[in-house]
Chain A
Amino acid sequence: MEPTRTTRREFLRSAGAGFGAVALSAMLEREGLADAPEAGVANPLAAHGSHFTGTAKNVIFLFMSGGPSHVDLFDYKADLIRLGGRPIPDSFGEFKTRRKVAKNNLLPPLRPFHRHGQSGIEVSEWLPNIAGCVDDICLLRGCHGDSVTHPESVYLMNTGSILMGRASLGSWSAYGLGSESENMPAFVVMPDPDGWVKGGAPAWGNGYLPATYQGTILRGGATPILNLNNPRGVSAAQQLETVNLINQLNRNGLRQGEQDSPLAARIAAYELAYRMQSHAREVVDVSRESPATRRLYGMDEAVTEDFGRRCLMARRMVERGVRFVQLYCGDTLGWDGHSKMDSNHSELCARSDLPVAGLLKDLKSRGLLDSTLVIWGGEFGRMPMSEGADGRDHNPHGFCMWMAGGGVKGGQVIGATDAVGLRAVEDKTHVHDIHATILHLLGFDHTRLTYRHHGREDRLTDVFGRVITRAIA
């Protein structure tokens, strides 16, 4: 096919979506060449199209790496204070722990809680700024998962399975939605600069979905994306010359009667790459923001500068059409307070509380919160009893997460743990339910967003998941 001027322009425009994927799929379909190696049905690269109109267009997932303590942050338990210093009553039965802490004495919350906002939701003194936003927050106090270890729980929270090899939530979202952005990937990840989450890159991997949908790591600074910069010693003018030669020769190749769609799509990918070189740098350049905005995110204080910068970059990406942004707060150990919980959580709360609140306020004041779903949570919570003198072990049996914006009904609490915060007992929400709800807010029926793999229509929620309908406004 000889691309005419018009179709080429159309084609280039669509090339932005899904990082060139949609371009490819459109071309493939036009040529009748659609091939799904594993699927044998539809083209795997085609953006799916939502099942209904979603309330959220974008997602920002603030991942608190290491497992923040729900009983010290969002889940107030009077009985934990009352029973503090004694072992958990036998009536609670047996439960799995990571470090054999079941018989240890209960450890009261490390900070007092207060009611906030019109909703009167209790939040700990550790998070004064997020507390100021509770009326926008839907707090899930009955969350639970499947494993007491980090990597399994990180994979579960990100891919819906404690095993390796499945596609991540961000990849599924990108697969479903494609990208709105002409110049940016659909799914961007900003790891903590001090270290990756336990379990590493598979947490944002594409699993068996096409590579197009994997999380692209983006950093601040001069090289936000791998290989974004021109080679050393190559000027911008030279780069343009060279890219032009490439495209001209590739186009000539097509004219010689060897036109095949992926080959044409490669031309679009070069033009996209060239545009990305300037756009990605622009996205991460927060110096263009007003001093007031930067202050809102805490960029003027050393302790909040890093996470504030990344939260602000997340907002800039959402504005520019990135569908799914995941930020990690906490290095490889992160919130993993097996000992010295007080100093561990003090530091991480100080680093993240103001920036997270700043992000919510900024999104709201710009009218972006309605269409942007913000999620806060780690891979699990922590045990009500102590580990050693001053720590807490992992707790996947009951913990908190929260969602705000994107069509979520704020100022409410859904679910509850038992008297001391050990297990979710009321209106429990499993990780699969949270995934189902996120996909629902994006406009997808989680049972129908599938990809054929090893003979089966695989999905993020496997055979599980229920939408948390009460969370939706």
Chain B
Amino acid sequence: MKTLLIIFAALLVHDTVASDHWAFQPVRRPEVPVVAGLVSEANPIDAFILRQLGEAGMGFAPEATAERLIRRMALDLIGLPPKPDEVEVFVKAFSSDPERACSALIDRLLESPHYGERWGRHWLDVARFAETDGFEHDAVRPHAWRYRDYVIRSYNDDKPYDRFICEQVAGDVLWPDEPQARIATGFNLLGPDMVDSADQEQRRLNRLTDMTDTTALAFVGLTMGCAKCHDHPFEPITQREYYGLQAFYTPLDFNDAAPVYTPAELSSHKMDLARYESRAEVVALAAFDMEHRPAGRKLSHKAYLKTLSKDEKAARDKLEESARRYKRPELPAALTVSYPSGPWRKTRLLNRGEYSQPREVVPPGFPKIVPGDETRPKDRRDLAAWLTDPGNPLTARVMVNRVWRQHFGRGLVATPSDFGVTSKAPTHPELLDWLASEFVRDGWSLKALHRLILSSKTWRQAVVDSPDRLLYRGWLPKRLEGEVIRDSLLEISGRLNPAMYGPGVMPPIPAEVFKGASGWSPSKDSADHGRRSIYIFARRNLRFPFLEVFDAPDSNLSCSARQESTTAPQSLTLLNAADVVEAARQVAESLPKNTIVASAYRRILGRDPSAEEADLAERFLQRSPAKELCRALFNLNEFVYAY
């Protein structure tokens, strides 16, 4: 009887709840409401927001000041504060034509290569990006950074989001000749991996589980994990459907170092190699080996070394030492997935999720909750097509909500990676649908979406006494991520190294953190210590302390929304950490002696101090040095929040 009830309940979930659930309904582009007080050519976002505000007897708060707007926009779009002269120019332009000034500023910021470094980071959270395996050895994945660079490039190029998805899901089969598309498939391999597991079948299953779950969370906001062991208790997802999704991945080869190069890279590699091989020292070593290597026998390098006499070995060591001055050029390689040349593995439904309990074979398939093509999918090309079909009700909604959340600090849907039956309904369902439809209509352009949101009155409101969080009255200061705080410190103190891309860097970390841990050797070139935080080597078992204390995710599971905690260790960090102290010292040294207070405010907070603030600061300077004033300003709410 109990079983019958459960089956009945499950049927109910599948047939009734699923078909009624808002997120599974097709996106219908709603009419933009006509709202009193808005001109007809107004930003549609404002019409939707103002309608609900009006129903609650409220209206928009006044617009933020020009100084606040430029700082807010810059922190939001590129993750760096504006320079004092940029503020000055903008304030002037804003006073004559605010719309034009803002629009030009948004364009400039979106064109900045720093944009990809800022927004790529949001995606790396979702993608659980790290550059090590985790577990005991936490071994380095020497090519993982290429995925990070791929993401930054994609954002900077305003790659259409549907293409971005297709590349990550099936780049290897859709565009086999494009290295970037193959690098994109590394997305599937970014999770932790117990390489030396005692049970390699279990290890492979863990990776497949990780990629199945992450695909569903990242692209369509479905929390499929529960259905690995049994039909999903809340969502209309059966266990069979779970393995149907996994079946797209089951046959894959996981490549740690697949060569990924363009014809141009190959020819330049050949030239580099020729140059390397013509170096006198390299030639000398090769000649030595040619002479001493026993002919006619296949020997490993180690075995060959054993054939040398002591003197010969010493001579060779010397030659090798000199040759080591040059690094043997290598072709670019990346983490990728690909189909095997041999037969494909089949997927079986696993009872209770245990690989020791295989049941029937399950072919690739899509969760039925989403109306899709009825043809039988074969491989990841079909999965990519299904995910990016404009008729898929989830993909565009999920992404516009992610972007909205990053801009406002809260989503129209509160749970960015969970649009399932038990998620909370959107606060502005019609706006969400309108944005989703507009996003697709604009060719899945993220930059167009940013422009749309940042051009709205809604986003430009000032901080007010009585804000309304859910109805979007007034701006709520938004806590900046550790990356933005650290990068701002570097930028303001003139130490930011704007170099982009390449292998991760290791700025020094305090000795006491490192004690007992392993795997961190600060980059030799100190210029690398001032690189933007997105380039800091992402080690799973030793997070960079400055970022960790400000809620950087642990990168083991997909993270759709960082926590925003307020803790005493954060205060200790901003008060005492070497990064902050050094930044304060450098800024203080460059301040003109006669305008210390005003200059410090402009440099650090992008505005002039009020009379009261100037007075407090002047009195402080009677007993304390300027670097202490700068240290204090770096600790203000205004520095770690976007106002």
Give the B-binding residues of A (Cβ under 8 A): 19-21, 23-24, 32-33, 35-40, 44-45, 96, 98, 147-152, 163-165, 185, 191-196, 198-202, 205-208, 210-212, 216-217, 219, 223, 225-232, 234, 238-239, 241-243, 245-246, 248-250, 252-253, 257-260, 262-263, 265-266, 269-270, 272-273, 276-277, 331, 454-456
Can you list 22 residue pairs at the A/B interface with Cβ under 8 Å? A20-B566, A35-B414, A37-B414, A38-B418, A163-B206, A191-B516, A195-B518, A198-B136, A200-B517, A202-B556, A210-B563, A226-B513, A227-B576, A238-B628, A242-B624, A249-B613, A250-B636, A252-B613, A260-B463, A269-B570, A454-B417, A456-B223
CA distance A230 to B571 in the complex (A): 12
- Asked if B418 and A202 sit within 8 Å, CB to CB, the answer is no
Given known contacts A149-B197, A269-B567, A202 and B554 CB-to-CB distance under 8 angstroms: yes
Given known contacts A228-B572, A242-B624, A456 and B543 CB-to-CB distance under 8 angstroms: no
- Asked if B198 and A223 sit within 8 Å, CB to CB, the answer is no
Chain A residue contacts of B241, Cβ below 8 A: none
Chain A residue contacts of B567, Cβ below 8 A: 19-21, 211-212, 269
Which has the most chain B C-beta neighbours within 10 Å: A23, A150, A193, A208?
A: A208
- Asked if A241 and B415 sit within 8 Å, CB to CB, the answer is no
Measured CB to CB, the nearest residue on chain A to B418 is A455
CA distance A111 to B476 in the complex (A): 66
Given known contacts A40-B424, A455-B234, A212 and B565 CB-to-CB distance under 8 angstroms: yes
Is B7 interfacial (CB 8 A cutoff)? no
CA distance A96 to B200 in the complex (A): 13
Give the A-binding residues of B (Cβ under 8 A): 134-136, 138, 192, 194, 196-199, 206, 213, 217, 223, 225-226, 234-235, 410, 414-418, 420, 422-424, 463-465, 467, 469, 476-477, 479, 510, 512-513, 515-518, 540-543, 545, 548-549, 551, 554, 556-573, 575-578, 581, 612-613, 616-617, 620, 623-624, 628-629, 631-633, 635-638, 640-641, 643
Chain A residue contacts of B556, Cβ below 8 A: 163-165, 202, 207
CA distance A270 to B636 in the complex (A): 11
Given known contacts A242-B628, A242-B632, A269-B571, A201 and B517 CB-to-CB distance under 8 angstroms: yes
Specify which of A35, A148, A238 is in contact with B198 (CB 8 Å cutoff): A148
Kindly provide the distance from the CB of A201 to the nearest chain B CB, expressed in whole angstroms: 6
Specify which of A151, A252, A331 is in contact with B136 (CB 8 Å cutoff): A151
Given known contacts A211-B551, A241-B628, A272 and B424 CB-to-CB distance under 8 angstroms: no
- Asked if A152 and B194 sit within 8 Å, CB to CB, the answer is yes
- Asked if A150 and B632 sit within 8 Å, CB to CB, the answer is no
CA distance A207 to B19 in the complex (A): 34
New A-B pairs, 14, CB < 8 Å, besides A37-B563, A227-B510:
A20-B565, A35-B469, A164-B135, A185-B569, A199-B541, A201-B541, A227-B575, A229-B576, A238-B624, A245-B632, A248-B616, A272-B568, A331-B516, A455-B423
Which has the most chain B C-beta neighbours within 10 Å: A20, A37, A152, A272?
A: A37
Chain B residue contacts of A234, Cβ below 8 A: 628
Chain B residue contacts of A192, Cβ below 8 A: 516
- Asked if B620 and A241 sit within 8 Å, CB to CB, the answer is yes
Measured CB to CB, the nearest residue on chain B to A219 is B512
Chain A residue contacts of B235, Cβ below 8 A: 455
Chain B residue contacts of A226, Cβ below 8 A: 510, 512-513, 545, 569, 572-573
CA distance A250 to B640 in the complex (A): 12
Measured CB to CB, the nearest residue on chain B to A249 is B636
- Asked if A44 and B563 sit within 8 Å, CB to CB, the answer is yes
Specify which of B225, B565, B576 is in contact with A45 (CB 8 Å cutoff): B565
Kindly provide the distance from the CB of B554 to the nearest chain A CB, expressed in whole angstroms: 6
Chain A residue contacts of B135, Cβ below 8 A: 149, 151-152, 164, 199
Which 8 residue pairs spanning A and B have beta carbons closest together? A455-B223, A165-B556, A200-B541, A37-B561, A273-B571, A40-B414, A40-B424, A151-B136
CA distance A164 to B209 in the complex (A): 13
Kindly provide the distance from the CB of A166 to the nearest chain B CB, expressed in whole angstroms: 8
- Asked if B415 and A455 sit within 8 Å, CB to CB, the answer is yes
Chain A residue contacts of B213, Cβ below 8 A: 454
- Asked if B477 and A258 sit within 8 Å, CB to CB, the answer is yes
Specify which of A96, A196, A206, A257 is in contact with B465 (CB 8 Å cutoff): A257
Kindly provide the distance from the CB of A107 to the nearest chain B CB, expressed in whole angstroms: 21
Chain B residue contacts of A277, Cβ below 8 A: 572
CA distance A207 to B563 in the complex (A): 11
Given known contacts A226-B510, A250-B637, A455 and B134 CB-to-CB distance under 8 angstroms: no
Chain B residue contacts of A455, Cβ below 8 A: 223, 225-226, 234-235, 415, 418, 420, 422-423
- Asked if A211 and B549 sit within 8 Å, CB to CB, the answer is yes
Kindly provide the distance from the CB of A426 to the nearest chain B CB, expressed in whole angstroms: 25
Kindly provide the distance from the CB of A35 to the nearest chain B CB, expressed in whole angstroms: 6
Chain B residue contacts of A230, Cβ below 8 A: 576
Chain B residue contacts of A205, Cβ below 8 A: 554
Chain A residue contacts of B417, Cβ below 8 A: 454
Measured CB to CB, the nearest residue on chain A to B230 is A463
Chain B residue contacts of A23, Cβ below 8 A: 566
Chain A residue contacts of B415, Cβ below 8 A: 37-40, 455
CA distance A4 to B542 in the complex (A): 42
Kindly provide the distance from the CB of B608 to the nearest chain A CB, expressed in whole angstroms: 14
Chain B residue contacts of A39, Cβ below 8 A: 414-415
Given known contacts A149-B196, A454-B557, A231 and B576 CB-to-CB distance under 8 angstroms: yes
Given known contacts A241-B623, A253-B637, A258 and B516 CB-to-CB distance under 8 angstroms: no
CA distance A249 to B197 in the complex (A): 54
Specify which of A242, A257, A259, A454 is in contact with B418 (CB 8 Å cutoff): A454
Which has the most chain A C-beta neighbours within 10 Å: B134, B513, B563, B567?
A: B567
Given known contacts A20-B567, A242-B628, A193 and B423 CB-to-CB distance under 8 angstroms: no
Chain A residue contacts of B551, Cβ below 8 A: 210-211
Measured CB to CB, the nearest residue on chain B to A19 is B567
CA distance A258 to B513 in the complex (A): 36
Kindly provide the distance from the CB of B547 to the nearest chain A CB, expressed in whole angstroms: 11
Kindly provide the distance from the CB of A104 to the nearest chain B CB, expressed in whole angstroms: 17
Specify which of A149, A210, A272 is in contact with B571 (CB 8 Å cutoff): A272
- Asked if B636 and A253 sit within 8 Å, CB to CB, the answer is yes
Specify which of B516, B561, B566 is in contact with A266 (CB 8 Å cutoff): B566
Chain A residue contacts of B641, Cβ below 8 A: 263
CA distance A276 to B570 in the complex (A): 12
